Amino acid sequence: MVYLILIFVFTLGMHGLNVGDKVPLFELTDQDNKQVRIVDIIGTGPIVIYFYPKDDTPGCTIEACSFRDQYAEFEEYGAKIFGISTDSPADHLEFKRKYNLPYTLLSDPKKEVQQLFGVKRNFLGLLAGRVTYVVDKDGKVVHIFESQIRPKKHITEALNILKGLI
């Protein structure tokens, strides 16, 4: 019981991003062991950042492949897509190759960027959160969508917001 109360208090104490906030500046390693700095991406066009629990699990594969299947539409809006999980760069590379994912996967093994964004864990703290952020070209968060059980909806939500930015 104490454990559940601590999870509840911890979750309440987490301050996440809100629409209108500037995206936190971060640097993470991608699937090719290259450093990606968000500050280098801001200003080049919209950014879609999605946090997901784990490579090659059913819901995460559906989400990743749905972003892949709609990738051309994201490109039409000039958007760059970044998937972030705690998986290693090597795991990301395998996942990316296995499903032919055309976008960048970033490794956040210490959950530091998840904490910067305020991504909450789900299911009593056992699973990493599934949250998508749409960021405009100026680095402002314009949309946040969270749903653990509807991975395909993240793509629809992001595309609808990007359409509105044009």
Q: Determine the distance from the C-alpha atom of residue 32 to the mean position of all C-alpha atoms in its chain, rounded to a whole number.
A: 18
In this structure, are residues 121 and 142 in contact, taking their beta carbons and an 8 Å threshold? no
In this structure, are residues 40 and 26 in contact, taking their beta carbons and an 8 Å threshold? no
Residue 65 annotated as catalytic: no
Tokens for 45?
């066009």
Among 60, 81, 144, 162, the one annotated catalytic: 60
DSSP 36: E
Beta-strand pair 104-107/131-135: unpaired
Provide the annotated active-site residues.
Answer: 60
